[in-house]
């Protein structure tokens, strides 16, 4: 029944839909994903290395501290990446309850634990010398849960059923809004999660009208959250008037745009950032794009944006060709997660969005987010190695692809699995 | 059924593409924004960055030292020493008790005395001790306490203590010279601070060389070599200290000038202070160099200048005699002599000075008005005014290198003033006119040296940091003060005064015969601030010279409000002069007659 190339392990990786299995193709995964992620990691490491003298002065630790820690984080990320490429996707799907439970537990622990006086927010879980932000784990767990939930609703034909589909999603968003946005004061991550869930629901096929209603509600809640918390209001004011109060609330926003602008066309050069020397807060972390832009200028910044855009394009392509709904939704979730964080971060650095305390994926210093991004990319990479035999857009998309087209499939004797009706894949 | 409830993959992919389109569009907007910020508005943001990052620092210049002549060599009398201020950053002091005892071991003092500063609230800079030595500072640094720090600062040190204190002045906490030479020559001594323009970190620490970094090295201040003779200065200060007590004066001052170039050889006042401890001086009047900044009505010492003017203008001759009526009535007021020796009788020029006849000084003003007559008119007043102001340069600062030099006062020759005659008769014997000791010394010098007014000076040379020496050439301010013969005629007249006092019982006025010593006393009434004069309060003054073949030093002494059993000039000014003249002779500073 299965083509010879398929192994038992391959079967286990995939969704349990029989039709999907019938159409399944295994081919070379998308190596571009690795290449692009590696470029971003390398850029991050180089920038952190180059500003480590400044960081050493402002933080009082040794010059190699940040580079060592980032290298360690990259090492852990590679392990996480390899793990999630190897562990069958189905395994994640089947253990979504466990993941969710761990995510909730981590969040509770973070809330219960006494806070670090330097970062007075209940966001961190500390285990000895290790610490991570609970919300990253929660993002990952929610991603798997929601992809599974939506796949089931698709299968049940209930995707358009407001009560069965939209209400649980809204309820989840509501809980997250209370816990992450209010208790943990992490509006940025809340925004990322809500965007991730919203886009996944959108791609899963929730009616547009419903999404607009949900979106309207989210905006309303967001506005209320902003009004309720003075410092958020201050950040919005800062955003509206970036140069009005450089010394107080607008200091970071002001210094970041100064860093970006003073980079000019070609930048000050790798070793020549001045803003990293205490002017720009979080130079290694949230503000790293501004430091990059100061060092490498317009040309370097555009290249970096292009690398991000290329990565998002590759992920988009993987999701288009994903072999089944669950895989597709997972990939869309990862795409949204990473791209929204990128947009929120860079948007703040160039003064187009308010500061949100979100790191720049793959570039910023900080172990937690890096490991979870890598884990998420591992899933994407795993899925990129499969596609349904006939993609819904096969006639347009599959042309010219050397390793995954109709002809090669035929040559490999897989034609027997050809299914002329893509709609069957989601039959209930 | 599936078509109605689930998405078709095509629909799904369409929605993925919409989402990617939004992402791509957002990134494109960021690209445009970067174009705007990094290229179009580059100048604005570059300037904003430099406003924060580019800082200017002054690199302090080393202050020049001050030296003076001592025998045949030149010795430093003001030096620089780097001393350290010890300060605490109290929030970083973990165990104040421990730190306090560590400090007391290094710096001294009781540990308790450091506790208030170590535990001070609301500050990050609490001074614990000042003027630590390099060794002490190093010991503090070795403690490696993050709450302690030392800050180096150059201080002036004075190897000779209070030597020449008031003429030197001091350097205040802001590094600015105040009083004396330090004030007057502050620009030369201070040099020019260098400038460091550098991109710095947020704490102002310059970063490694960048294109914007510029450095202008400081120009060290010039070393100043004074005309002061350390030996004479020391002796003068000792004499003043002794006579201050003996005469029970409020203040005593004296200046010794070389009349042939205006060089001040010594200049002192008592009481004085130690410039190394200027901060502990509570009475700021001690900082004043009274020789240059305390003009008084000089009294009869002025008669030396009146005589010089009358001789120079041809109004009198040195051997002339006249009938002294013992009083003149001028503008309705009686002018009499303090000493009522013998009443009305024939007098001569020598006796005017020896007996200090006010009526004689007034008579000389009458001769300047109209020779052979006894009236005061515009001619005499204008002539005398011209001598005082333009020849003897009274009423204006001499321009010596001192802070706060006073101008003194010469009444204007205003003929509309109904009491102008009386006013000017008074100036002829040193009342109603105010003069500093230095002005008097410089004026007398110009008469005795043959008629050249040299600007009195304290600077013999300046040496710049590259070793270039600039000798301070004598500066002639007035070439024809009096004719050369006037000085020659005045010398015996002033010697006569000394001899008269010796014969009158002032045995200390006895000088070896191979030296010439001349002088003139002055006992001046002291004006009340409210007008009129105090009764029984006088200032004693003395002008004189000492030399061999010719006058070598001109000496002026002011004793302010002495308490002596006789005329202030004779009993306070004169003994101080005598001490000085004896010292100069005895210590070999005067070339005897050959």
pLDDT at A119: 59
pLDDT at B202: 76
Give the gap in angstroms from C-alpha B119 to the nearest C-alpha of chain A.
24
Tokens of A278: 């205490």
Nearest residue of chain B to residue A295 (CA atoms): B38
A214, A202 in Cβ contact below 8 A? no
ipTM at complex level? 0.84
In a domain, A383, yes or no: yes
In a domain, A414, yes or no: no
| B126 vs A24, more confident | B126
Q: How far is CA B442 from CA A423, B256, B270, B407, B455, in A?
A: 119, 10, 21, 13, 7
In a domain, A16, yes or no: no
A195, A336 in Cβ contact below 8 A? yes
pLDDT at B1: 32
Chain B residues close to A422, C-beta within 8 Å: 8-10
> Is cis: bond before A334, omega within 30 of 0?
no
Please tell me if residue A257 touches chain B, with a CB cutoff of 8 Å.
yes
pLDDT at B443: 98
Binding-face residues of A in 48-107 toward B, CB within 8 A: 54, 57-58
In a domain, A369, yes or no: yes
Residue A128 pLDDT level (bands cut at 50, 70, 90): low
| B162 vs A251, more confident | B162
pLDDT per residue as tens digits for the range A171-189: 999 899 888 888 888 888 9
Please count the CA atoms within 13 angstroms of the CA of A211 that sit on its side-chain side: 18
Q: How far apart are the first and last CA of chain B?
A: 142
Chain A residues close to B10, C-beta within 8 Å: 392-393, 422
CA–CA separation, B363 vs B306, rounded Å? 10
Residue B415 pLDDT level (bands cut at 50, 70, 90): very high
Binding-face residues of B in 171-210 toward A, CB within 8 A: 199-203, 205, 207, 210
CB pairs under 8 A between A and B: 177
Q: Is the pLDDT of residue B500 over 90?
A: yes
In a domain, A78, yes or no: yes
Residue B507 pLDDT level (bands cut at 50, 70, 90): very high
- The β-bridge relationship of strands B170-171 and B177-178 is antiparallel
In a domain, A403, yes or no: no
Task: Tell me, rounded to whole angstroms, the distance of Cα B163 from its chain centroid.
Answer: 14
pLDDT at B440: 98
CA–CA separation, B420 vs B378, rounded Å? 9
Residue A117 pLDDT level (bands cut at 50, 70, 90): low
Number of domains making up chain A: 1
Binding-face residues of B in 205-264 toward A, CB within 8 A: 205, 207, 210
Q: Is the pLDDT of residue B302 over 90?
A: yes
pLDDT per residue as tens digits for the range A333-376: 999 999 999 999 999 899 888 888 888 999 998 777 899 999 99
CA–CA separation, B589 vs B258, rounded Å? 12
Expressed as residue numbers, the domain containing A169 is 29-387
pLDDT at A413: 35
Chain B residues close to A57, C-beta within 8 Å: 201, 205
Mark yes or no for CB contact B46/A393 under 8 Å. Answer: no
Phi-psi sector, A153: left (phi>0), alpha (psi -120 to 50), beta: alpha
Mark yes or no for CB contact B9/A293 under 8 Å. Answer: no
What 3-state DSSP class applies to B455?
Answer: coil
pLDDT at A25: 75
Q: How far is CA A7 from CA A3, A89, A95, A250, B526, in A?
A: 9, 15, 22, 58, 123
Mark yes or no for CB contact B38/A263 under 8 Å. Answer: yes
pLDDT at A206: 86
pLDDT at A222: 76
> Closest to A426 (Cβ–Cβ): which among B2, B45, B202?
B2
* Helix (H) or strand (E) segment spanning residue A70: helix A65-86
B71-75 contacts at long range (C-beta below 8 A, 24 or more positions apart): B71/B231, B74/B225, B75/B230
**Closest listed residue to residue B485, CA positions, set B365, B308, B257:** B308
pLDDT (average), residues B406-424: 95
CA–CA separation, A317 vs A36, rounded Å? 14
Q: Is the pLDDT of residue B203 over 90?
A: no
| A310 vs B56, more confident | A310
| A249 vs A317, more confident | A317
Mark yes or no for CB contact B34/A343 under 8 Å. Answer: no
pLDDT at A223: 78
Q: Is the pLDDT of residue A399 over 60?
A: no
Residue A424 pLDDT level (bands cut at 50, 70, 90): very low
pLDDT at A421: 42
pLDDT at A18: 41
pLDDT per residue as tens digits for the range B432-455: 999 999 999 999 999 999 999 999
CA–CA separation, A149 vs A152, rounded Å? 5
> Closest to A154 (Cβ–Cβ): which among B7, B26, B39?
B7
SS (H, E, C) B236-255: HHHHHHHHHHHCCCCEEEEE
Mean pLDDT of chain A: 80
pLDDT at B18: 92
Q: Exposed e or buried b for every residue in A397-419, given b needs 16+ CB within 10 A? A: bbeeeeebbbeebeeeebeebee
Mutate one of A57, A251, A274 to test the B interface: name it (highest B CB count within 10 A).
Answer: A274
pLDDT at A238: 61
Give the gap in angstroms from C-alpha A418 to the nearest C-alpha of chain B.
16
Please tell me if residue A339 touches chain B, with a CB cutoff of 8 Å.
yes
Task: Tell me, rounded to whole angstroms, the distance of Cα B562 from its chain centroid.
Answer: 25
Please tell me if residue A427 touches chain B, with a CB cutoff of 8 Å.
yes
pLDDT per residue as tens digits for the range B4-32: 334 566 788 889 999 999 999 999 999 99
pLDDT at A318: 94
Binding-face residues of A in 270-329 toward B, CB within 8 A: 272, 274-275, 277-279, 293, 297-298, 301-302, 305, 308-309, 312-313, 316, 319-320, 325, 328
Binding-face residues of B in 425-454 toward A, CB within 8 A: none
> Among A113-127, B209-223, B407-421, B428-442, which is the least confidently predicted range?
A113-127
In a domain, A61, yes or no: yes
Mark yes or no for CB contact A264/B42 under 8 Å. Answer: yes
Please tell me if residue A347 touches chain B, with a CB cutoff of 8 Å.
yes
| B91 vs B2, more confident | B91
In a domain, A68, yes or no: yes
Residue A246 pLDDT level (bands cut at 50, 70, 90): low
For the whole model, what pTM was predicted? 0.66
């Amino acid at each position: 029944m299965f083509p010879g190339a398929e192994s038992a392990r391959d079967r286990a990786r995939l969704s349990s839909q029989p039709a999907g299995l019938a159409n399944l193709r295994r081919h070379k995964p998308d190596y571009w994903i690795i290449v692009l992620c590696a470029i971003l990691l390398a850029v991050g490491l180089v920038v952190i290395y180059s500003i480590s003298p400044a960081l050493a002065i402002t933080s009082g630790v040794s010059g190699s501290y940040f580079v060592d820690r980032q290298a360690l984080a990259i090492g852990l990320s590679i392990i996480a990446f390899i793990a999630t490429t190897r562990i069958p996707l189905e395994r994640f799907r089947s253990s979504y309850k466990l993941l969710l439970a761990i995510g909730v537990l981590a969040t509770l622990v973070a809330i219960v634990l006494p806070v670090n006086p330097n970062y007075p927010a209940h966001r961190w879980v500390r285990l000895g010398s290790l610490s991570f932000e609970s919300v990253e784990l929660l993002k990952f767990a929610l991603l798997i849960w929601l992809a599974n939930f939506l796949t089931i609703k698709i299968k049940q034909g209930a995707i358009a059923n407001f009560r069965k589909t939209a209400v649980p999603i809204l309820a989840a968003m509501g809980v997250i809004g209370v816990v992450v946005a209010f208790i943990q004061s992490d509006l940025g991550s809340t925004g990322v999660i809500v965007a991730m869930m919203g886009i996944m629901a959108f791609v899963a096929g929730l009616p547009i009208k419903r999404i607009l209603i949900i979106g309207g509600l989210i905006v309303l809640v967001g506005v209320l959250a902003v009004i309720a918390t003075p410092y958020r209001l201050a950040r919005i004011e800062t955003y509206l008037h970036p140069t009005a109060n450089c010394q107080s609330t607008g200091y970071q926003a002001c210094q970041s745009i100064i860093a970006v602008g003073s980079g000019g066309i070609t930048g000050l050069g790798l070793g020549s950032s001045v803003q990293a020397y205490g002017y720009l807060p979080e130079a290694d972390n949230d503000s790293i794009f501004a430091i990059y832009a100061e060092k490498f200028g317009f040309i370097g910044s555009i290249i970096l944006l292009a690398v991000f855009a290329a990565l998002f394009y590759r992920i988009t392509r993987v999701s288009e060709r994903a072999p089944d709904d669950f895989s597709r939704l997972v990939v869309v979730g990862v795409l949204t997660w990473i791209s929204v964080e990128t947009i929120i971060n860079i948007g703040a650095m160039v003064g187009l969005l308010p500061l949100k305390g979100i790191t720049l994926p793959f570039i910023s210093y900080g172990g937690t987010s890096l490991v979870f991004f890598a884990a998420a990319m591992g899933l994407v990479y795993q899925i990129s190695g499969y596609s349904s035999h006939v993609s819904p857009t096969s006639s347009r998309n599959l042309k010219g692809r050397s390793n995954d087209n109709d002809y090669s499939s035929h040559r490999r004797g897989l034609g027997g699995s050809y299914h002329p009706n893509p709609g069957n894949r989601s039959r209930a | 059924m599936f078509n109605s409830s689930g998405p078709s993959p095509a629909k799904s992919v369409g929605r993925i593409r919409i989402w990617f389109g939004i992402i791509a569009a957002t990134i494109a907007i960021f690209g445009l924004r970067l174009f705007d910020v990094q290229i179009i508005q580059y100048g604005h943001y570059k300037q904003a960055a430099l406003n924060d990052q580019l800082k200017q620092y002054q690199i302090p210049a080393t202050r020049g030292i001050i030296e003076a002549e001592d025998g045949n060599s030149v010795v430093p009398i003001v030096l620089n020493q780097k001393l350290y201020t010890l300060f605490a950053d109290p929030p970083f002091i973990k165990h104040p008790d421990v730190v306090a005892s560590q400090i007391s071991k290094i710096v001294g003092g009781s540990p308790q005395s450091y506790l208030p500063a170590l535990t001070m609230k609301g500050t990050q800079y609490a001074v614990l001790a000042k003027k630590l030595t390099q060794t002490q500072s190093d010991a503090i640094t070795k403690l490696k306490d993050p709450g302690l720090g030392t800050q180096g600062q150059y201080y002036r040190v004075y190897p000779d203590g209070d030597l020449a204190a008031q003429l030197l002045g001091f350097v205040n906490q802001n590094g600015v010279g105040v009083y004396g030479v330090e004030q007057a020559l502050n620009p030369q001594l201070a040099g020019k601070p260098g400038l460091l323009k550098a991109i710095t970190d947020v704490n102002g620490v310059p970063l490694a060389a960048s294109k914007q970094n510029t450095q202008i090295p400081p120009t060290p201040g010039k070393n100043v070599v004074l005309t002061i003779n350390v030996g004479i200065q020391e002796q003068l200060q000792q004499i003043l200290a002794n006579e201050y007590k003996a005469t029970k004066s409020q203040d005593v001052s004296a200046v010794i000038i070389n009349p042939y170039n205006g060089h001040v050889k010594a200049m002192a006042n008592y009481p004085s202070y130690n410039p190394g401890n200027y901060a502990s001086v509570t009475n700021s009047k001690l900082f004043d160099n009274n020789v240059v900044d305390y003009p008084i009505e000089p009294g009869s010492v002025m008669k030396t200048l009146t005589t010089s003017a009358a001789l120079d203008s041809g109004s009198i001759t040195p051997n002339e005699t006249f009938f002294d009526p013992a009083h003149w009535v001028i503008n309705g007021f009686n002018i009499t002599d303090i000493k009522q020796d013998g009443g009305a009788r024939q007098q001569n020029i020598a006796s005017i000075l020896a007996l200090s006849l006010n009526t004689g000084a007034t008579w000389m003003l009458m001769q300047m008005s109209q020779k052979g007559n006894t009236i005061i008119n515009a001619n005499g007043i204008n002539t005398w005014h011209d001598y005082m102001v333009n020849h003897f340069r009274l009423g204006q600062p001499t321009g010596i290198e001192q802070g706060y030099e006073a101008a003194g006062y010469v009444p204007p020759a205003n003929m509309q003033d109904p009491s102008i005659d009386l006013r000017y008769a008074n100036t002829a014997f040193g009342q109603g006119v105010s003069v500093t000791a230095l002005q008097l010394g410089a004026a007398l010098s110009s008469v005795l040296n043959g008629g050249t007014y040299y600007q009195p000076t304290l600077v013999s040379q300046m040496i710049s940091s590259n070793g270039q020496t600039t000798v301070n050439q004598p500066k002639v301010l007035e070439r024809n003060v009096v004719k050369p013969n006037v000085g020659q005629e005045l010398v015996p007249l002033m010697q006569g005064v000394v001899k008269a006092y010796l014969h009158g019982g002032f045995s200390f006025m006895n000088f070896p015969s191979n030296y010439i010593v001349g002088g003139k006393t002055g006992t001046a009434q002291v004006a009340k601030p409210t007008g009129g004069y105090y009764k029984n309060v006088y200032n004693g003054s003395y002008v004189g010279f000492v030399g061999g073949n010719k006058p070598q030093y001109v000496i002026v002494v002011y004793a302010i409000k002495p308490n002596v059993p006789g005329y202030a000039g004779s009993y306070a000014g004169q003994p101080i002069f005598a001490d000085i003249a004896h010292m100069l002779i005895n210590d070999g500073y005067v070339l005897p007659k050959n």
